[in-house]
Amino acid sequence: MPTATMTPIPNTQYLDVTAIRADFPILRRRIHDVPLVYLDNAATSQKPQSVIDAQTRYYEETNANVHRGVHTLSEEATAQYEGARAKVSNFIGACCPKEVIWTRNATEALNLVAYSWGRANLKRGDRVLLTEMEHHSNLVPWQILSAELSFEIAYVRVADDGTLILDDLPKLLTSRTKLFSFTAMSNVVGTVNPVKELTAAAHKVGAKVLVDGAQSVPHMPVNVQELDIDFMAFSGHKMLGPTGIGALWGRRELLNAMPPFMGGGDMIREVHLSGFKPSELPWKFEAGTPAIAQAIGLGAAVDYLSNVGMEAIHQAERELTAYAMQRLPEVKGLRILGPAAEKRGGLVAFTLEAAHPHDIAAVLDGFGIAIRAGHHCAQPLHERYRIPASARASFYLYNTKEEVDLLVKGLHKVVEMFTF
């Protein structure tokens, strides 16, 4: 495969990208003997050394179970584990840490709401409102539950430009609508949805609001109280944290009224042969030994993001996305999916006339460039655009315009290879 060279990395007006990149050991890797260009951040982000060190330090110095021991190691582990919860709570603007429920990821958090709140509150004749741009994690749980409880699922349609058709809301949000669940930012077309506007419309008819924040929490300032939402789900691994840890935030009164999601140890106050009493929040929803090291790692990731500044990250990604959308159309036969740069977050999905997305990704890998190809767990949205798959480049705080240039150069090579 052809070799590539990386030109010096300049600082943007928002971030010291050179210093940031030095914090991520994997960015020093070479793939096929060229520098790694990692543009798959919407799938998972890379980890700074401080996050890696936080988990290693826990295992080397503090390894013990939480909440269950009075010895020193257990007390230290509990303090670090609950300290991470407090960091996450502050990061998203929650009123208190007890409103943050640890889950494995955003998928489990969305399922928790469906199977706990949904099973307790939905019935035949009710409506759950979703959108056509949802990740499968915000579609399948409701489809499963609807088959059991016989409520209706309705969808806000997506326009050709990748934005929601809000003119449909008055007929979709009625007294029958009990929940409006939607993504804050599409993982395919990158659309940043008007969360406050959608929430206000839902609350007018008495519907609760669940937001999939998997693509928004890592990339822009988020304050759940200012948004006035009822629930929000997000994943740690997309925001510089470890895999296997995520969170559900919910209003305390709603969480208190919901039945436990799973039964077992650590989620109970007392158990008898005749029954049990659940523990208080947040442990009511956290059965079994939790992902202790991962939670501590996520706490370290929140520290890193907070030190850099979420507004600076957001603005730098907007600048990089605008640059990418300026450069990518130079490639023959390339079609960008979704809205203009000012209406989207830090990702660009596209198709090429010359090649299937999987072929695009395979060729780019030969140049050390990592992108995503497929339907990105959003198959209905691809059906909406009448395409089987797309290629996706997604950015984060450590990406540069020079990497966009290498992407464009690689795509020109793809076109050359597949044009006969």
Q: What is the pLDDT of residues 55-84, one digit of tens each?
A: 999 999 999 999 877 899 999 999 999 999
| Intrachain domains 17-35+310-418 and 51-307 with the same fold | no
> pLDDT averaged over the chain?
94
So which residues are the catalytic ones? 377
For the purposes of burial, counting CB atoms within 10 Å of the CB of 277, is it exposed (0-12), middle (13-18) or buried (19 or more)? exposed
Question: Which residue ranges in the chain fall short of pLDDT 50?
Answer: 1-8
Provide the CB-side half-sphere exposure for 60 (13 A, CA).
6
The length of the chain is: 420
For the purposes of burial, counting CB atoms within 10 Å of the CB of 255, is it exposed (0-12), middle (13-18) or buried (19 or more)? buried
Q: How far apart are the first and last CA of the chain?
A: 19
* pLDDT at residue 283 in the model: 81
* pLDDT at residue 300 in the model: 98
* Domain segments of the chain as ranges: 17-35+310-418, 51-307
Q: Which residues of 281-299 are buried (b: 16+ CB within 10 A; e: fewer)?
A: bbbbbbbeebbbbbbbbbb
Pairing label, strands 30-31, 34-35: antiparallel
CATH 3.40.640.10 given to domain 51-307: yes
pTM of the model: 0.94
Fold of domain 17-35+310-418: Aspartate Aminotransferase, domain 1 (3.90.1150)
* pLDDT at residue 287 in the model: 78
